[in-house]
Amino acid sequence: MAKIVNSWNDWDPLKRVIVGRCDNSVIPPEEPATSEKVPVDSEMRGMWGLRPLATVERGNECLENLVKAVEDRGVVVDRPTPLQWNQAIGTPDFRNDSMMTCMPPRDILLTIGNEIMASANSFRCRYFEYLAYWPLMKQYFDEDPEFLWTQAPRPRLTDASYKHNYYDEKITLEERLVRTANKDFVTTEVEPMWDAADVMRMGKDLFIQHGLTTNRTAMEWFQRYYPELRVHAMNFPGDPYPIHIDATFVPLRPGLIINNPNRHPAEGQLAIFEANDWQVVDAAQPAHTEPPALCYSSVWLSMNCLVLDPSTVIVEASEVNQQEQMDKLGMNVIPVDLRDAYPFGGGLHCSTADVYREGGCEDYFP
Ligand code: DAV
């Protein structure tokens, strides 16, 4: 029996990782939490159903590029088992016309030490996505006697979980920014709701983005569940669609973070980094002015990189500005062509979930 699961941060040497799959991916129907995420002028508004097969095949090709790049460096890769995502689902509390995808894994699985926890997502269409990872979780459970296989409390996602009429077709970008600044998001606080990609793990400290996908009750829940860790809420007032911390505030190694220049942390939230002599630098500008077609995410997937060890990072192949900056920051850069996987939910960090990194739980903010 071997140790299979261990990871405390995003930079220690990566040895084993899960890479998502695009098969059967769906653009989900509108529901209370998702309309918030789709910009008003997006070509995806009002559209739902299976994604075009050619884009699925191309997305999978991109993920194969990533698999090959990490395998060439000795990293073991595991893959989820996709379901037929275009099925209606129901629980005692809600019905939804479809599920979504098993891209990206980073939103669903949170690895902390020897534990992998499935998240408590606020999107109804993502309620059963964890099932794609259950075969892997069972395998880790059988092979690693210390592995903790965990499911966070499942949210009920009744209408009480969302603010009604929060979304309005006419809302301007400025009004969205006022809402972000006021920490006024579409979810309520009736239960903990969180996406794993909102949680940035840094050893003894968890920095969790409060936004459209993760609420304050989730942070309170995390602090009680992990009493030995310190939970810090983060807000980024410059982001009109705040979801997921990994295109906003991205650590490269102990002492160094790249920060989206349009999304600086709220007043006072940098203090802990400054007090511990961390360098927080503005990330380079994205190489693109638009995301690819049928993509929910912004052009800032440019900074959504996968750190393989404190001096090696994978950056998307077309993101030349980000590559150049990484190089100047002393990182060896491995470019991987992944842009056509962006529409399935994200970049290099999103497309993966940690299984094993060397190292233990350090205190970086003593
Ligand atoms: O900038 O659209 C994308 C994050 C995906 N995990 C953005 C955030």
Q: What is the pLDDT of residue 48?
A: 82
Q: Which pLDDT tens digit goes with each residue over 66-76?
A: 999 999 999 99
Identify the CATH assignment for 14-357 out of 3.40.1800.10, 3.40.50.720, 3.75.10.10, 1.20.58.480: 3.75.10.10
Residue located nearest, by CA, to atom 3 of ligand 1: 297
* 297 close to ligand 1 (CB < 6 Angstrom): yes
Phi-psi category of residue 244: left, alpha or beta, with phi > 0 → left and psi -120 to 50 → alpha? left
Residue located nearest, by CA, to atom 5 of ligand 1: 346
* 247 close to ligand 1 (CB < 6 Angstrom): yes
Q: Is the pLDDT of residue 166 over 60?
A: yes
Q: Phi and psi of 299, rounded to 5°?
A: -65, -10
Measured distance between the N- and C-terminal CA atoms of the chain, rounded to whole angstroms:
35
Q: Which pLDDT tens digit goes with each residue over 173-208?
A: 899 898 999 999 999 999 999 999 999 999 999 999
Atom of ligand 1 nearest to the CA of 297: 2
**For residue 37, how far is its CA from the centre of ligand 1 (angstroms)?**
10
Q: What is the pLDDT of residue 304?
A: 98
> Can you point out the beta strands (E) in 238-339?
249-253, 256-259, 279-282, 306-309, 312-316, 332-336
3-state secondary structure 160-218: HHECCCCCCCCCCHHHHHHHHHCCCCCECCCCCCECHHHEEEECCEEEEECCCCCCHHH
- Kindly state the average pLDDT of the residues 210-239: 97
The preferred substitution site among 36, 246, 316 for testing ligand 1, maximizing ligand atoms within 8 Å of CB, is: 246
Q: What is the pLDDT of residue 39?
A: 58
- Kindly state the average pLDDT of the residues 110-125: 97
Strand duo 312-316 + 332-336: pairing? parallel
- Kindly state the average pLDDT of the residues 283-300: 94
Pick from 309, 351, 338: which is nearest to 104 by CA? 351
* 263 close to ligand 1 (CB < 6 Angstrom): no
- Kindly state the average pLDDT of the residues 307-315: 98
Q: Is the pLDDT of residue 344 over 70?
A: yes
* 340 close to ligand 1 (CB < 6 Angstrom): no
Q: What is the pLDDT of residue 44?
A: 64
Q: Which pLDDT tens digit goes with each residue over 118-158?
A: 999 999 999 999 999 999 999 999 999 999 999 999 999 99
Q: Which pLDDT tens digit goes with each residue over 249-271?
A: 999 999 999 999 999 999 999 99
The residues carrying an active-site annotation are 195, 244, 350
Q: Is the pLDDT of residue 320 over 70?
A: yes
Q: Identify any residues that bridge with 113 across adjacent strands, giving them in sequence order.
A: 7
Q: Which pLDDT tens digit goes with each residue over 1-48?
A: 689 999 999 999 999 999 999 999 999 988 887 665 565 556 666 678
* 161 close to ligand 1 (CB < 6 Angstrom): no
**Percentage of the chain lying above the pLDDT 70 cut:** 96
- Kindly state the average pLDDT of the residues 56-65: 98
**For residue 242, how far is its CA from the centre of ligand 1 (angstroms)?**
8
Q: Are 83 and 99 in contact (CB under 8 A)?
A: yes
Atom of ligand 1 nearest to the CA of 298: 2
* 300 close to ligand 1 (CB < 6 Angstrom): yes
What's the mean per-residue pLDDT of the chain?
Answer: 94
Q: What is the pLDDT of residue 41?
A: 59
The preferred substitution site among 103, 110, 243, 296 for testing ligand 1, maximizing ligand atoms within 8 Å of CB, is: 243
